[in-house]
Structure 1
Amino acid sequence: MTGPVEPPRPPDPSKRPPRRKRVVLADSRAPVTVLRTVVELEEQTSWAEEVVRGFIRTQFKTAVRLALALICTLGLLPLVFFLAPGLAGVSVAGVALPWVLLGVLPFPLLFGLAYWYNVLAERHERDFVDMVEK
């Protein structure tokens, strides 16, 4: 047969199960209007679509304005050299001025316009987020 049966031991206090933690899915202190706005954006209601369309329109207008500035700046240079042929004879460090302006000027100009667009785009995004959170 089997050996003697031992009585059950009391639970060891050092091996207690961990305390239960409360899990909160949503911050109840958040303003209701922010939650409604976010829900409307997620559900793509007609109001939310109009707000997003306005944001995209603003970003597009900024891009077009800066592109036009670039086109006007670089696009008019050949016209200036055509209308003022005396400038074609000027040389800088042994290189004709038109080549210097058309070969060197675009790089810092493109960098500057790209940086400016980035600053403006981030500002538009901050304004959009501020509007949504209010």
Structure 2
Amino acid sequence: MAEEQQSPPRREIVTGVSRGTRRRAPAHTPACSEISEQTTLGATYVRAIMRSQLRAGLGALAVLVPLVAVLPLVLVLPGAGSGPLVWLALGLLAYPVMWLIARWYVTRAERNEADFTGLVTDPAEAPSTPRPRPRGPL
């Protein structure tokens, strides 16, 4: 029998995080704790997000109300009866415009929340890859 050549056992090196990159305590109090502790600054943050969401909602409502208010006037026009103008006004004009308004509102509300989250979270706890925010008219 031939003697088997045994190699020396493989060495494993265990490393840790270097001292310079260890997580340090934040120099300031994160805004999250300000909100949870219900301080004056936290109340200001909450009012700011509520104002921005209210502004987006009122903007969508300002476009939607005239659209809905004009529909009965279009349907009362002479000759509108039950003809193709009713189907055109209801099916092809009103609902797609309402859908676009709703889409704009949801996108705006998500952008407001993403901005607020970016403002409130501690940069040390933020995820390493930021999520892209949708930008554009819708």
Q: TM tier, shorter chain? A: 0.5 to 0.7
Could you say which residue in structure 2 is the equivalent of 1:103? 90
Structure 1 contact 41–48 (Cα < 8 Å) conserved: yes
The offset of 1:33, in angstroms, is: 5.2
What is the count of residue pairs matched by the alignment? 100
Which is richer in helix? 1
Structure 1 contact 89–96 (Cα < 8 Å) conserved: no
Structure 1 contact 55–124 (Cα < 8 Å) conserved: yes
Task: Report the Cα distance in structure 2 between the residues aligned to 1:30 and 1:100, rounded to whole angstroms.
Answer: 64
Gaps of 5+ in 2: 1-21, 124-138
Could you say which residue in structure 1 is the equivalent of 2:72? 78
Gaps of 5+ in 1: 1-27
Task: Report the Cα distance in structure 2 between the residues aligned to 1:110 and 1:34, rounded to whole angstroms.
Answer: 45
Could you say which residue in structure 2 is the equivalent of 1:49? 43
- SS in structure 2 opposite 1:32? coil
- SS in structure 1 opposite 2:23? coil
Deviations 1:2-61 (A, max 9, x none): xxxxxxxxxxxxxxxxxxxxxxxxxx7266157532211111111101111110111011
Q: Percent of aligned positions with the same letter in both sequences?
A: 29
Q: TM-score, normalised by structure 2?
A: 0.59
Larger radius of gyration: 1
Q: TM-score, normalised by structure 1?
A: 0.60
- Could you say what the CA RMSD is over the residues aligned between the two structures, in angstroms? 2.8
Where in structure 2 are the equivalents of 1:3-18 lying within 5 Å?
A: none
Structure 2 contact 74–89 (Cα < 8 Å) conserved: no
